[in-house]
Amino acid sequence: MRLRDALRRGANEISSAGSDEARLEAELLLCEALGVGRSRLYQQLNSEILPEASAAFERLLARRLAHEPLTYIIGRREFFGREFEVTPAAIVPRPETEALVELVIQFARERFGGSPPTIADIGTGSGVIAVSLAAGLPGANVVAIDESADALNLARRNADHHEVAARIGFLRGDLLAPLGAAVDIIAANLPYVRTPDWEQMPPEIREWEPRSGLDGGADGLRVIRRLLQQAPARLRPGGALFAEIGEEQGARAVAGARSAFPQASIELRRDLAGRDRVLVVLT
C-alpha cells in the first residue's frame, strides 16, 4: 500500500469517529509512525509503506479511534509558538489560553517596562503559561503552582526544555496558599467547566483529560471565586490578575471580582473567536 492510500484510509476512519480535523490528524499520526515531518511525508506520498511503519500507524490509529486525543498520542502540542510535552497529567493546552498570555505580556511590558515583574501562574498544568511568560518577558520571575505533583513534574520538564527553569519556581498546593510573598501579576487558567456540562463533553475530553483540571463545580466558577477571594492579600499594589473563564461566565466572574476588589478596574477581554475569555482585574 502507498503512503497516500494509508493516509486516506486513516483520515476516513478518524472522520467516522467524529473528528473535524481528520486529514490533519491522520497526517500527524503517519508522520509519527514514519518518524518524519509533514513536508517529508508529502515528498514520499507515492512510496510504498514498509510493514513496520504500517504496523506502527495501525497502533496509533487504533488509539485515536478509541478517542484518545492526538496530543496525548504524539505527546506534544504547540502553544504560543513553542512546542510543549503534554501527558495525561495535564489538560491539552487550548488556543484560547494564548489570549491570556498575550494580555499578560502586554500589561507587563507597559506597566513594568525595564523592571521585570514577579508572576504567579496558578493551575500551571503542563506549564504552557508559566514557560511562555518567562520566555516572553526576559528577567521576569515566575512561580508555577498546581495541586498535582505529576503536572508540576511535566511543567518542570517543559521549562528545562525551553531554558527558562532558572526563573520559574514550582510549588505544589491549593491556589495561592504556597506563595511566599506577594506578586505583581497573577495569571490563572483554572477549571471552569460546569459540572452539569461534563457528561456532555466529547469522549476525547471526558474519558481522557484529567477532570480535576476542568470541572469547576455547579456554575463552573467555584475554583476561580476562591482564587479571587485569596488574591487581594497576594497582589502587590498596582498589580493585576488575569483569569481565563468560560464564554458565558463573564457577568458572574465580574461580580466575583467586584466583591473581592471593590476599588479595582475590572474588564472582560475576548479571545480570537470574539468570545469573553479573560477576566482582568487591575488594582
**Cell numbers at 269, concatenated:** 477581554
Measure CA 109 to chain center. 22
**DSSP one-letter string for 100-150:** HHHHHHHHHHHHHTTSPPEEEEES-TTSHHHHHHHHHSTT-EEEEEES-HH
Measure CA 93 to chain center. 3
**DSSP one-letter string for 160-205:** HHTT-GGGEEEEESSTTTT--S-EEEEEE----B-HHHHTTS-HHH
- Rounded to a whole number of angstroms, the minimum distance from the CB of residue 202 to ligand SAM is 16
- Rounded to a whole number of angstroms, the minimum distance from the CB of residue 178 to ligand SAM is 9
- Rounded to a whole number of angstroms, the minimum distance from the CB of residue 12 to ligand SAM is 31
- Rounded to a whole number of angstroms, the minimum distance from the CB of residue 134 to ligand SAM is 14
Name which of 167 and 225 has its Cβ closer to ligand SAM.
Answer: 225
Name which of 3 and 223 has its Cβ closer to ligand SAM.
Answer: 223
- Rounded to a whole number of angstroms, the minimum distance from the CB of residue 82 to ligand SAM is 13
- Rounded to a whole number of angstroms, the minimum distance from the CB of residue 222 to ligand SAM is 9
Alpha carbons 107 and 177: distance in angstroms, whole number: 25
Rounded alpha-carbon distances, angstroms, from residue 122 to 73, 112, 258: 26, 21, 20
Name which of 33 and 176 has its Cβ closer to ligand SAM.
Answer: 176
Contact 254, 247 (CB under 8 A): no
Name which of 28 and 91 has its Cβ closer to ligand SAM.
Answer: 91
Angle ∠(199,200,202) on CA atoms, nearest 5: 105
**DSSP one-letter string for 136-164:** HSTT-EEEEEES-HHHHHHHHHHHHHTT-
Contact 212, 245 (CB under 8 A): no
Query: Which of 160, 224, 155 has its CA nearest to residue 192?
Result: 224
Name which of 14 and 245 has its Cβ closer to ligand SAM.
Answer: 245
- Rounded to a whole number of angstroms, the minimum distance from the CB of residue 162 to ligand SAM is 15
Contact 124, 145 (CB under 8 A): yes
- Rounded to a whole number of angstroms, the minimum distance from the CB of residue 93 to ligand SAM is 4
Write out the residues near ligand SAM by the rule CB under 6 A: 90-91, 93, 97, 123-126, 128-129, 145-148, 151, 174-175, 189-191, 212-214, 223
User: Helix, strand or coil for residue 252?
Assistant: helix
Name which of 90 and 279 has its Cβ closer to ligand SAM.
Answer: 90
Name which of 64 and 225 has its Cβ closer to ligand SAM.
Answer: 225
Name which of 9 and 94 has its Cβ closer to ligand SAM.
Answer: 94
